Structures are given as structure tokens and as C-alpha cells.
Structure 1
Amino acid sequence: MTLTERLQGTNLYLIGMMGAGKSSTGTALAQALGYQFFDTDAVLETAAGQTISEIFAEAGEDAFRQQETEVLAQLAAYRRLVIATGGGIVTQRRNWSYLHHGIVVWLEVPLGVLEQRLAGETGRPLLQRPDWRQTLADLVEQRQPLYAQADVRVPVGAEDSVEAIVAQILSLVDERLRTDAPSAQLN
């Protein structure tokens, strides 16, 4: 039985910090599984007709988080999806009720690698400040215990290719399903 068959349509949710590579990894992972791919930020931007930065600027973070939860709830209703989530999606307790309907995969990237990837980026509302490195470090520290609740933890290094990360995810998810065989019905 293939991994896709063992998954029985269960969604995979990619969590992790901004800059972790959730979108690029998610696209390749979906292709490997024969699943569809969605990025909650992209879906939210399309639905709102605004960028994430514009939503933050005009309505604030709380309004953004509420819209993000609505997008997650809508996507969670479907099967056979790989969903890249926003980095802060784990901070809202109600989101875990949706995430736990699937397999939660944490792309764990060291702070130094995140800093390299995010240097010079202007589209990250939470990092639009002179002390953005400290803000990023604080966010990592705050969110790490939440990310650690994932079903699967995937350490990601600076030199890891998307293909290598996808292979690691597939292997770890397969191992998790085999370990949880009696309760493999994750839906």
C-alpha cells in the first residue's frame, strides 16, 4: 500500500515560521502525493482582494487572524490537500481544532537561516521595524512550543533542497502512520 493510499485522503498541514519554505515545499509535496496545494495566505489575499500587509495596515492583526481562521476552516472541510499555513496560525487555539483533522508537519528552520531568508523582504508585516531580527527571534521563541505540538517535526537546514525536504516529510509521515497503525484513521 502506498503512502497516498494509507493517508486515505487525510490533509497535510505545513506549519512553521515565515521563511520556513512552507509554500515551495507544499507545492512539491502535493505533487508527490497527487494532492492539491493551497496556501492560506494566498487564499486569504484572493478572498479579501488585499495583500496581507494591507489587511494588517487597515484592519490590524486581530482581524487578519480571524480571516485566517475562516480560510483554514473552509480548507479543512476538503480532503486530499496539502495546506501551507501562515506562521502565526498556531497562535489561535481554535485553529488547532482544524489542524488536528489532518497531519500537522512542522518545518523547523534555525533562526539564523530564517534571518538570511527574510533579510530585505518587505512583505512581512510583523517584521516592518528596525529591530526586525529581535522581533523574529521573539516570535520564534513564542511559537516554538506551539509548533512542537505537530505530528511530525522536520528539521530544515540552509542547504536542504525542496526535494530533500519533501522526501524527509514523506518518510516521517509514513513512519508516523505505521507507528499509529491502530489509529491510522486520522480524519
Structure 2
Amino acid sequence: MRNKYNNIILIGFMGVGKTTVGKLLAQRLGYRFVDADQVIEEETGLSIPEIFSRYGEGYFRQLERQAIRRIFIHSGIVLATGGGAVMDPANFSFLMENGCVVALDASEETLWERLKSCKDRPMLYSENPREKMRALLEMRRPVYYKAHFVVRVDGKSPKEVADEIIAMLEVEGGDGDKK
């Protein structure tokens, strides 16, 4: 399949399926899959929760920014970002300039069902994780919606989501019109 994008970047809230869909997309497009969080973990030798607890979110975001820039010295990549990566305006601009940014979106109910039993999501560490999730989602969603494309994932299998993205890329083809 031909498309005009050297890279596909998946953004969206934690638990929306960026990694699962990203792996399928990469396989179908013949691209290399990269998970930004996994790169950070491999480079630091620490898990994301360990980085947050030892050094804080600010340090993690710095590592994330640096990793994203290194990842794009290559092309032919499907990148799954962390859910908060795009909240840094410089990161968001960089991503928009270096590939097709696709935001995966799901309802609050779908996300909560996927996240409620997770113990490795430092952004949800709170007395009331559902309320924390809701607040983060409200803050992040307007940024996610600035992506080149937005794909709802509710009630769809990862394969169906990947198929929808590939169909959008084929239609988009070469003229660069968005959404």
C-alpha cells in the first residue's frame, strides 16, 4: 500500500490501544513499530512507574521528548506515543511535522473498563483514579483532536481500527487534506 507518509504516529489516552493497533499497522504497512515508552524503559533500565516515582513526571517528559526526536532519525516507523506526550506543544508540533498523526479515541466508559485494574499507570495513582482519569482526559482530548485524523475505537477490534486507518491513508493518498 502506498501512502505519502514516511511515519505514522498514534496518539491518544492510555488504554486506547496505541501499542496493539500500532503493531498491526506496522506489520500491514511494512513499517517498523516503535513504542516510545518501551524505548525509554530500554534506555534507562527502569520501568515508567519507577521513573515517575524516583524522578517525577517532569524528568520523564524530558526523556520522552529526547526519545521521540531520536526515533525519527529513521523513517518507515509506526510510533505509539505515551498518552501525555502531545501535551508538550513542541512535541506535538514535531510529531505533526514528521508523519501522519492519528489520534485513537474512546469513551470514558471504554477507557475505564480497560484501565481500572491497571497498577502500572502512574498518571492514575490517586485516591480516586476514575476522577483522575476523567480530568486528564478532559485536559488532553482537545489536543488529541488536533491530529491529522481521529479514529474512535469503541466496539472495534484492533484489526478493525488498523483497517480504518489504512483506508484513511489510502483515501488521503497524496493531496494532504485532513479529517
**Do Structure 1 and Structure 2 share a fold, with TM-score over 0.5?**
yes
Query: Aligned letter for 1:93?
Result: P
Query: Do structure 1's residue 147 and structure 2's residue 144 form an aligned pair?
Result: yes
Q: Distance in 2 between matches of 1:92 and 1:177?
A: 29
Q: What does 1:77-92 correspond to in 2, within 5 Å? A: 77-92=73-88
DSSP 3-state at the match of 1:7? coil
Q: Distance in 1 between matches of 2:110 and 2:29?
A: 27
| Residue in 2 that maps onto 1:67 | 63
Kept after mapping to 2: 8 A contact 1:15/1:86 = yes
Kept after mapping to 1: 8 A contact 2:4/2:174 = no
Q: Distance in 2 between matches of 1:136 and 1:174?
A: 34
Gaps of 5+ in 2: none
Q: How many pairs are equivalent?
A: 176
Match of 1:113 among 107, 110, 116: 110
Query: Aligned letter for 1:105?
Result: V
Q: Distance in 1 between matches of 2:107 and 2:137?
A: 9
Q: TM-score, normalised by structure 1?
A: 0.90
Q: Distance in 2 between matches of 1:75 and 1:91?
A: 18
By how many angstroms is 1:178 displaced?
A: 4.5
Gaps of 5+ in 1: 182-187
Query: Aligned letter for 2:149?
Result: V
By how many angstroms is 1:97 displaced?
A: 3.1
By how many angstroms is 1:147 displaced?
A: 0.3
Query: Aligned letter for 2:29?
Result: L
By how many angstroms is 1:179 displaced?
A: 4.5
Q: TM-score, normalised by structure 2?
A: 0.94
> Between the two proteins, what is the percent identity of the paired residues?
35
DSSP 3-state at the match of 1:150? coil
